[in-house]
Structure 1
Amino acid sequence: MSPTPPKACLRVDGTGIVDADGNRIILKGTATGGHTNMENFITGYPGHEHEMRAAMLEVLGREKYDFFFDKFLEYFFTPHDASFLASLGLNCIRIPINYRHFIDDLNPSVIKPEGFRLIDRIVTACADAGMYTILDMHTFPGGQNQGWHSDAGIHKALFWNFKDFQNRMVDLWVAIAKHYRDNTWVAGYNPMNEPADPDHVNLQAWYKRVEKEIRAVDPNHILFLDGNTYAMDFSAFKEVLPNCAYAMHDYASMGFPSGEPYVGTPEQKEFLQKSYERKVEFMKGRGVPIWNGEFGPVYASEAEHEYKKINEQRYNLLGQQLSIYTSDKTSWSIWLYKDIGFQGMVYVNPETPYMRLLKPFLEKKKRLGLDKWGRDDGRFRDVAQVYEPVIRHFREEISERFLNRRYPQVWKIEGHIHRVLRETLFSEIMCWEYASFFEGKSMEELDELAASFKLENCVRREELNEILRADAARAG
């Protein structure tokens, strides 16, 4: 029997989020990233989802293409997954969405009903398990940021330069708000994931506009508003919008191959605390709720040297971050629920058809360092050295005055070169190689490949899940 729906939508009350009776609710959960918005490191393809899908369509043909991706979407998240997450004590699941499930770029004025059917299935499964959901728009036409996860296929955020793109996404959010306005299991809407507005003013104008339009059809649901520059910068924010929580992302470099190992020194703990405080200064100063929409380390595989030691350090890092959030009663959503073995709470078993088929390609992609997320150039020096002369050339020919002017400046020139050469151009071409592994597959074989993502075909990362279970059990 499904649990009784909440009597009313959650709402903002001062620095907290409360239910219909005024009880404070601390949202603790994870995200279904890689599902309704696919990402390269999560499911194994290179580059950008729309490029991978185009290559797959070319190889499979329309009938098999539709069959495979329909099955993938069916199997990736089911009521079984929702029940598992609820068993850990989690109470809210963030649903990252690719706008293309709702809008065809060649017919942008029509909102596709199949998008609602897809998201409804997840919302309902979570509600039946007694969990709230937050709807997160993870991609935007033209790209709201410069990263692979905005699925623009370029290295610029053109969304901010085209009013048509902005109008289109306001209209989509109005349609979504109309659809879910009476659903009290939906905790709220995350209108834009990780915006990166170079001018630092367009984002606030769009937030103000979309908030007004959403409120006209749905006055009750909370909006969870990300900071600028990948949800890490609120320095240019001028005002607080009503019934809004403000969302930051709190990744720590010590949780990745490129960062220093976390050994729990006082200096490292102080660094984590200061990084967090910088990101939440706006929320604390304005007295509004904090939602940490993404955080979490990545994990070494058994094939890597001293993987147990590395992962123990990463678990300790996670524990320290959770203790910071607990002290502030901060709501959070860890990244990530399910993948092929890098960061997920569960991951696809290496012996499944999908992983066996793609093993040589995945090893090649990792060696080439095509994915930004968790790239390990320290381990694969032969490939890393290919790019060093290019970086050196830029540094030699461009004045120091201009070298790191390109936004986001925190990437420095190295990050922008890797974005263009490895993550965009190289990865786009490699999509055809990825798709070639599916050539000639029968419907039955495609079903088996998609079924690799079923929960029963996944390995559970028990140490991680126990940490999350223990934290979820803490009193708010």
Structure 2
Amino acid sequence: MKLVFTALCFLSSFAYFADAKCGESPPSPPTNLMTSPTAGTLRIDATQYCESYGTRIEKTNQGEPYVGFLDPNDWMAFDVELPTAGTYQVTYSVASMTGKGSFQLEQLGGSTVYGSITSVPSTGSWYSFTTVTHTVQLPQGKQALAVAIRQGEFNLDWIELKKISGDAPDNSVPHAACRADEYLQINVGQKNRISAVDYCDARGVQRKISQNGGYHVSRIDANDFVAYNIEVPKSDLYRISYRVASKDGSGGLVLEVYDKSSFGTVSKQVNIPSTGGLQKWATVSHTVYLSQGKNILVVRGKGRGWNFKSMDIVVGAVSPSPPVTNPVPVPPPVTFPVPAPVPAPVATPVRAPVFSTPSNGFVRADGKHIVDGNGNNLILRGQGLGGWMLQEPYQMLTVEAAPKGQWQMFQKIEQTVGTAGLEQYHRAWLDNWCTYEDVKELKASGFNSIRVALHYNLFTLPIEEEPVRGRDTWIQDGFDRLDLLLEWCQKEKIYLILDLHAAPGGQGRNSAINDYDDSKPSMWEDEENVRKSIALWVKWAARYKDNTWIAGYDLLNEPNWGFEPGHPNGCSEQTNKPLKNFYDRAIEAIRKVDKNHIIYINGNCWGNNHKGMWPFADNNIALSLHRYWIENTDASIQEFLDMREKYNVPLWMGESGENDNNWYKGAVQLLERHNIGWAWWTWKKLQSSSGSYSINPPAQYQTLVDYWAYGGNKPANAMETLMELAENAKLKNCIRNDEAIAALTGI
């Protein structure tokens, strides 16, 4: 018997689609990535997944890699080929300090659940691994098996599949996969909420990320279903409310109930109303009768195309009409057909130019103008969040100690307070620098938009740290922070523009701006950095494609790189071919998942050298310029006004600042006189009157910076100083520069 595990998914010419992995298997597997200790047994290294979400590769004290810090809704998928269908014993090597953890084995996307591990035991250490096992029925052929985490706090080392028999799945009992699973206890006197994605069995559905956080079951069509185990305290009427979304109101649901005797009852159909979009949620309810004890609830789709977020169950509800509990024949048993290779979330790109047609409601380009969701002219008046996710040396007063960039500053911090100390400081800085209070203050100060400067390393690993070249490990913390910022913007009705400020490898020789480490290949010196940059944009675009408070994607901040000899910062480049190629590929990739959002294009030479780059094969695009230390005259922007006329594209001034208040006022007047929106730099920085807010450095901060720069005795209170610095970054502890803000907005 031969079991084939494909650990690597070879990259096509469009390999920059990060999620197009599982199913793109090489002709024969690299044998160094699997071991077969016995005939009919396959052991899979957990780090050799072909797709994942929220995972991190860690190492034991002996340097052996494993997948660590598994949390709810994380998952990883593996390409396997099984010669026959039948019963398989699946063993997992796990470690947990807390004894918390549960997960399920499913088809990638969650359309079929094969079985669950309901409890990961405490092993006394994060590095002490033990095994847990269950028996499942698996189909024949090539497939992507996924381990989906339901409860977290454990690590995974390897997975082993062992063939037991060729028996067909036992489908004599409806939804047999649920019967071995854990049951959710329904309590009297409270609302019992079940997340839609916590099903024990399913068909035809997929998990998707919700715009406002969490997950939902996506695109339920006729006869698709999701099933849940519950245990009810008494035989009674129960009010069940469903959070649903539908664009056109063409769907519905029925609830099938199977009690311990496997006797099925079916509710009347509940129609799903039109909610105006697949991420705009409404509640529908009905009352059903449930028998005491263990039950399986099956939500089965009618009609087509609706999403399911959660359901609430309340005991002893008063029924507006008698429940329908007429016995009906048990539906056909659940089968487990051989799944076709699961398509990746992003399709193979088309080489031809793609013109986007944005939906109504989105900020977009309209000829030479940027317009709002109603088609009205929109002048973006924004602030950049520079210093939050990327700490530039001049903002942190560390130019003498760490002139090369954040990476060098963090290296100094780690040498001073250790890895744990660096992580504690960085987490506190990220928590405190940008909060809901900042967004409310931005809105109150007269700004209508935010340009958030993003560092790639909060979202994915550097190419040098990826376990397998050409694959992307995603870091959930960055996505969670960006989700939260967007949630705040939605509450305050202020637009958010995503800005890739530090791309993989670094996009410019000015390392302080983009965190370029000159000991490693830049974005332009290793194609893998370009691929990863595009993969990250596809990830963001797929996540936010339906959100109307996103006012666009600023694809690459201030590239400054000479592609030809003698042009060190790209200011005299005439063609900018590598930069143009990156933009073409990125736009084409984004448009595969998001046709709604406007895209902003920076030139070379810190954003302003657009030679050789225009036009682009997209009609929802804007030309971005940056302005520093230049006169506020029509002549200073004339070349960009000419390009607006020539290429019929709007202009956006994506970054300016670092000057006096009179210059600020004149710059805004110049730009708005020519219908050019703007974003200022920056909202906060240390000891500054040119930003909108100033952060007070701690009393001992300069001593710490001097130690980094010149050596000497290590400050005894270094950690306390860093944590005080992070505390001072909170808005309430900062100083408002009233005149600087008034020069921009008049408020």
Q: Does TM-score exceed 0.5, indicating one fold?
A: yes
Q: Which has the larger radius of gyration?
A: 2
Corresponding position of 2:627: 250
Q: Distance in 2 between matches of 1:436 and 1:155?
A: 27
Q: Distance in 2 between matches of 1:59 and 1:130?
A: 42
1:283 pairs with 2:644: yes
Structure 1 residue 21 displacement after superposition: 1.8
Corresponding position of 2:384: 31
1:359 pairs with 2:713: no
**Quick check: 2:640–2:651 contact (8 Å CA) kept in 1?**
no
Letter in 2 for 1:452: N
**Quick check: 2:361–2:374 contact (8 Å CA) kept in 1?**
no
Structure 1 residue 155 displacement after superposition: 9.5
Corresponding position of 1:239: 615
Are the structure 2 counterparts of residues 438 and 22 from structure 1 closer, same or farther at C-alpha, using a change threshold of 3 Å? farther
Gaps spanning 5+ residues in structure 2: where? 1-211, 213-275, 281-358, 564-575
The CA deviation string for residues 324-370 of structure 1, in whole angstroms up to 9 with x for no partner, is 11111101001111001333110013xxxx431223566x7xxxxxx
SS of equivalent to 1:35:
coil
1:189 pairs with 2:189: no
1:55 pairs with 2:412: yes
More helix by share: 1
Q: Distance in 1 between matches of 2:709 and 2:538?
A: 34
Are the structure 2 counterparts of residues 436 and 17 from structure 1 closer, same or farther at C-alpha, using a change threshold of 3 Å? farther
Corresponding position of 1:304: none
Q: Distance in 2 between matches of 1:449 and 1:57?
A: 16
**Quick check: 1:7–1:184 contact (8 Å CA) kept in 2?**
no
Structure 1 residue 142 displacement after superposition: 2.6
Are the structure 2 counterparts of residues 316 and 159 from structure 1 closer, same or farther at C-alpha, using a change threshold of 3 Å? same
Higher relative contact order (CA 8 A, sep 6+): 1
Structure 1 residue 157 displacement after superposition: 8.1
Q: Which segment is superposed worse, 51-60 or 338-347? A: 51-60
1:216 pairs with 2:563: no
Q: How does 1:131-210 map to 2 (within 5 A)?
A: 131-147=494-510, 148-154=512-518, 158-199=522-563, 200-210=576-586
**Quick check: 2:509–2:561 contact (8 Å CA) kept in 1?**
no
Corresponding position of 2:52: none
SS of equivalent to 1:73:
helix
Structure 1 residue 275 displacement after superposition: 2.0
Corresponding position of 2:488: 125
Q: TM-score, normalised by structure 1?
A: 0.72
Structure 1 residue 69 displacement after superposition: 1.1
Structure 1 residue 129 displacement after superposition: 1.6
Q: Which of 729, 732, 737 is 1:453 aligned to?
A: 729
Structure 1 residue 238 displacement after superposition: 3.0
The CA deviation string for residues 134-177 of structure 1, in whole angstroms up to 9 with x for no partner, is 00001123321111211013399832232111111111111111
Letter in 1 for 2:479: F
Corresponding position of 1:17: 370
**Quick check: 2:698–2:724 contact (8 Å CA) kept in 1?**
no
Q: Which of 415, 418, 423 is 1:66 aligned to?
A: 423
Q: TM-score, normalised by structure 2?
A: 0.46
**Quick check: 1:30–1:93 contact (8 Å CA) kept in 2?**
yes
**Quick check: 2:489–2:496 contact (8 Å CA) kept in 1?**
yes
**Quick check: 1:248–1:292 contact (8 Å CA) kept in 2?**
yes
Q: Which of 321, 333, 338 is 2:679 aligned to?
A: 333
The CA deviation string for residues 442-463 of structure 1, in whole angstroms up to 9 with x for no partner, is 5xx6543311111111111111
Corresponding position of 1:407: none
Q: How does 1:312-461 map to 2 (within 5 A)?
A: 314-342=660-688, 343-349=690-696, 354-360=697-703, 430=708, 436-437=714-715, 441=719, 446-461=722-737
Are the structure 2 counterparts of residues 18 and 279 from structure 1 closer, same or farther at C-alpha, using a change threshold of 3 Å? closer
The CA deviation string for residues 86-144 of structure 1, in whole angstroms up to 9 with x for no partner, is 01121110000111111222026212111101212222222222111100001123321
SS of equivalent to 1:93:
strand
Structure 1 residue 64 displacement after superposition: 2.6
Letter in 2 for 1:297: E
Letter in 2 for 1:210: A
Structure 1 residue 37 displacement after superposition: 1.3
Are the structure 2 counterparts of residues 447 and 435 from structure 1 closer, same or farther at C-alpha, using a change threshold of 3 Å? farther
Are the structure 2 counterparts of residues 55 and 438 from structure 1 closer, same or farther at C-alpha, using a change threshold of 3 Å? farther
Q: Distance in 2 between matches of 1:87 and 1:30?
A: 13
Structure 1 residue 233 displacement after superposition: 1.3
Corresponding position of 1:292: 653
Structure 1 residue 439 displacement after superposition: 5.3
Are the structure 2 counterparts of residues 431 and 98 from structure 1 closer, same or farther at C-alpha, using a change threshold of 3 Å? farther
**Quick check: 1:204–1:237 contact (8 Å CA) kept in 2?**
yes
The CA deviation string for residues 306-333 of structure 1, in whole angstroms up to 9 with x for no partner, is xxxxxxxx22222221111111110100
**Quick check: 2:704–2:718 contact (8 Å CA) kept in 1?**
no
Letter in 2 for 1:320: G
Corresponding position of 1:227: 603
Q: Distance in 2 between matches of 1:454 and 1:315?
A: 24
Letter in 1 for 2:648: G
SS of equivalent to 2:473:
strand
Letter in 2 for 1:345: S
**Quick check: 1:231–1:249 contact (8 Å CA) kept in 2?**
yes
Q: Distance in 1 between matches of 2:710 and 2:542?
A: 39
Q: Which of 442, 446, 456 is 1:99 aligned to?
A: 456
More strand by share: 2
Q: Distance in 1 between matches of 2:712 and 2:643?
A: 43
Q: Distance in 2 between matches of 1:433 and 1:278?
A: 49
Q: Which segment is superposed worse, 151-160 or 234-243? A: 151-160
Corresponding position of 1:110: 473
Structure 1 residue 198 displacement after superposition: 2.1
What is the RMSD of the two structures over their aligned residues, measured on CA atoms? 2.7
Q: Which of 446, 449, 454 is 1:89 aligned to?
A: 446
**Quick check: 2:387–2:685 contact (8 Å CA) kept in 1?**
yes
Structure 1 residue 19 displacement after superposition: 2.2
Are the structure 2 counterparts of residues 38 and 435 from structure 1 closer, same or farther at C-alpha, using a change threshold of 3 Å? farther
Are the structure 2 counterparts of residues 173 and 128 from structure 1 closer, same or farther at C-alpha, using a change threshold of 3 Å? same
Corresponding position of 1:422: none
Structure 1 residue 278 displacement after superposition: 2.7
Are the structure 2 counterparts of residues 125 and 136 from structure 1 closer, same or farther at C-alpha, using a change threshold of 3 Å? same
Structure 1 residue 284 displacement after superposition: 3.2
Structure 1 residue 273 displacement after superposition: 2.7
**Quick check: 1:235–1:282 contact (8 Å CA) kept in 2?**
no
Structure 1 residue 50 displacement after superposition: 1.2
Q: Distance in 1 between matches of 2:668 and 2:500?
A: 25
**Quick check: 1:140–1:169 contact (8 Å CA) kept in 2?**
yes
The CA deviation string for residues 422-454 of structure 1, in whole angstroms up to 9 with x for no partner, is xxxxxxx94685995575535xx6543311111
Letter in 2 for 1:134: I
Corresponding position of 1:424: none
Corresponding position of 1:378: none
Q: Which segment is superposed worse, 53-62 or 85-94? A: 53-62
Q: Distance in 1 between matches of 2:493 and 2:585?
A: 32
